[in-house]
């Protein structure tokens, strides 16, 4: 449970908001019902119920977008009911719930909902003076302070989202080459197997490594070896389709994962990569760098370990046959 919360920022936010609503709003809802303020009490408990449903849905489906939008909308409706019935006492709830909204939905959606809520409260007060605000001075004070609070909530939420995206990106790539790392590869292979079983998507895999890479390090130095790997990834990316992904499997081994591809096209693309590397990737003295590759299509009822093993066996055969070639499993 804690691992999921650490890995999924938005799930953590929805869970935290739901927990705080449950702990702090429930007592008010019960109290108001017991004291005869049924409408506001029902609104409070409806917010609690909606929050609980949203949290459970997010945990079951791992979808945090729709629960966040649902909660934000419920908060705005609930705040309108509470403020129009409690007046000044209800306005205090606007500040924390508006902060929550900026963490639950996108910045654009949060701004639109905030403006809609403010317009509703002001409009209701103009139609029924004294319903929400005691006087115009209080209304202006509320709007100014609510705007300032929303602005800083927006800035903090926006920066948090940007940092979260940056951290996820850093955690998903190989620091040297910029290719996807092993962790990301495993997740994509899992997804490929699921889509194969559910939708019969056609996936292909090319496993390759650079020939005699140890000799490159020994003869030219590790700096040249690293530079060769760094130059390799953009070269491979330029030779494959935009939908294909390149991952560093380990050392000088790389994997290209391809979706919606036929066996003949997979072989053609692997050969295109081999020729492209041989022609364009060279060492400081002009010698060509070559690679050997094993490729395999994902078979029905096959897990990704078996799929990868078949590609690895094909790569082993390519090396035994003299290297600088591709072999299909």
Digitized pLDDT (tens) for each residue of the chain, 329 residues in all: 777 887 788 899 999 999 999 999 999 999 999 999 999 999 999 999 999 999 999 999 989 999 999 999 999 999 999 999 998 899 999 999 999 999 999 989 999 999 999 999 999 999 999 899 999 999 999 999 999 999 999 999 889 888 888 888 888 899 899 999 998 999 999 999 999 988 899 999 999 999 999 999 999 999 999 999 999 999 999 999 999 999 999 899 999 999 999 999 999 999 999 999 999 999 999 999 999 999 999 999 899 999 999 999 999 999 999 999 999 98
Give the DSSP per-residue string, 198-209: HH---EEEEEEE
List the domain range (segments joined by +) for residue 85. 2-172
Cα distances (Å, whole numbers) of residue 33 to 8, 38, 43, 52: 37, 5, 10, 20
**CA 134, 137, 143, 144: dihedral to nearest 10 degrees?**
-150
Cα separation, 9 vs 15, in Å, equals 10
Same domain? For 193 and 321 the reply is: yes
Same domain? For 47 and 121 the reply is: yes
Cα separation, 142 vs 87, in Å, equals 12
Q: Does residue 177 form part of some domain?
A: no
Q: What's the confidence (pLDDT) of residue 16?
A: 93
Same domain? For 215 and 85 the reply is: no
Q: Under 8 Å CB-to-CB from 5, ≥6 apart: which residues?
A: 11, 12, 15
CATH number of the domain within which 221 lies: 3.30.70.270
Give me 120's structure tokens.
């509703």
Residue with token string 């934000």: 72
Q: Does residue 248 form part of some domain?
A: yes
Q: Is the pTM of this model over 0.75?
A: no
Beta strands in the chain (DSSP E): 203-210, 245-250, 253-259, 291-297, 326-328
Give which of 79, 78, 73 is closest to 104, Cα–Cα: 73
Q: Does residue 69 form part of some domain?
A: yes
Domain boundary, last residue among 107, 137, 172: 172
The answer to whether 182 touches 250, Cβ cutoff 8 Å, is: yes
Catalytic sites, residue numbers: 252
Same domain? For 202 and 168 the reply is: no
Angle between helices 94-104 and 65-86 (to 10 degrees): 170
The answer to whether 172 touches 182, Cβ cutoff 8 Å, is: no
Q: What's the confidence (pLDDT) of residue 186?
A: 93
Same domain? For 246 and 152 the reply is: no
Core vs surface per residue 291-321: b (16+ CB within 10 A) or e: bbbbbbbbeeebebeebbebbbebbeebbee
Residue with token string 């072999």: 327
Q: Does residue 149 form part of some domain?
A: yes
Same domain? For 7 and 62 the reply is: yes
Same domain? For 203 and 323 the reply is: yes
Same domain? For 82 and 146 the reply is: yes
Same domain? For 43 and 139 the reply is: yes
Domain boundary, last residue among 172, 201, 228: 172
Same domain? For 188 and 211 the reply is: yes
The answer to whether 153 touches 99, Cβ cutoff 8 Å, is: yes
Same domain? For 132 and 225 the reply is: no
Domain boundary, last residue among 118, 147, 172: 172
Q: Does residue 156 form part of some domain?
A: yes
The alpha carbon of residue 258 and the mean position of all alpha carbons in its chain are separated, in whole angstroms, by: 21
Same domain? For 13 and 98 the reply is: yes
The answer to whether 185 touches 192, Cβ cutoff 8 Å, is: no
Q: What's the confidence (pLDDT) of residue 3?
A: 77
Give which of 94, 74, 93 is closest to 147, Cα–Cα: 94
Could you give the number of structural domains in the chain?
2
Count the alpha carbons within 13 Å of 92 in the hemisphere toward its beta carbon. 4
Give me 192's structure tokens.
């490929």
Q: Does residue 60 form part of some domain?
A: yes
């Amino acid at each position: 449970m804690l691992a999921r919360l650490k890995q999924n920022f938005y799930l953590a936010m929805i869970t935290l908001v739901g927990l705080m609503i449950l702990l702090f709003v429930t007592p008010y809802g019960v109290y108001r019902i017991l004291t005869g303020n049924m409408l506001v009490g029902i609104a409070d408990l409806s917010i609690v119920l909606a929050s609980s449903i949203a949290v459970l849905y997010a945990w079951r489906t791992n979808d945090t977008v729709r629960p966040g939008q649902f909660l934000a909308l419920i908060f705005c409706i609930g705040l309108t009911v509470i403020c129009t019935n409690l007046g000044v006492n209800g306005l205090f709830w606007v500040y924390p719930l508006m902060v929550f909204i900026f963490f639950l939905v996108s910045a654009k959606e949060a701004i639109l909902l905030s403006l809609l809520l403010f317009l509703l409260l002001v409009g209701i007060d103009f139609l029924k003076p004294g319903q929400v605000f005691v006087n115009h001075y209080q209304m202006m004070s509320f709007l100014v302070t609510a705007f300032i609070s929303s602005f800083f909530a927006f800035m903090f939420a926006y920066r948090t989202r940007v940092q979260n995206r940056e951290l996820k990106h850093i955690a998903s790539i190989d620091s040297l080459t910029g290719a996807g790392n092993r962790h990301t590869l495993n997740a994509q292979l899992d997804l490929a197997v699921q889509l194969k079983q559910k939708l019969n998507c056609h996936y292909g895999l090319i496993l390759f490594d650079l020939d005699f890479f140890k000799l490159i390090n020994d003869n030219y130095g590790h700096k040249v070896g690293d530079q060769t790997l760094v130059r390799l990834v953009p070269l491979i990316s330029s030779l494959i389709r935009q939908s294909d992904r390149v991952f560093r499997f380990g050392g000088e081994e790389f994997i290209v994962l391809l979706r919606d591809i036929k066996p003949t096209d997979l072989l053609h693309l692997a050969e295109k990569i081999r020729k492209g590397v041989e022609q364009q990737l060279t060492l400081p003295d002009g010698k060509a760098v070559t690679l050997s590759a094993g490729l395999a299509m994902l078979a029905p009822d096959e897990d990704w370990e078996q799929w990868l093993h078949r590609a690895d066996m094909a790569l082993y055969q390519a090396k035994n046959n003299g290297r600088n070639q591709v072999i299909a499993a």
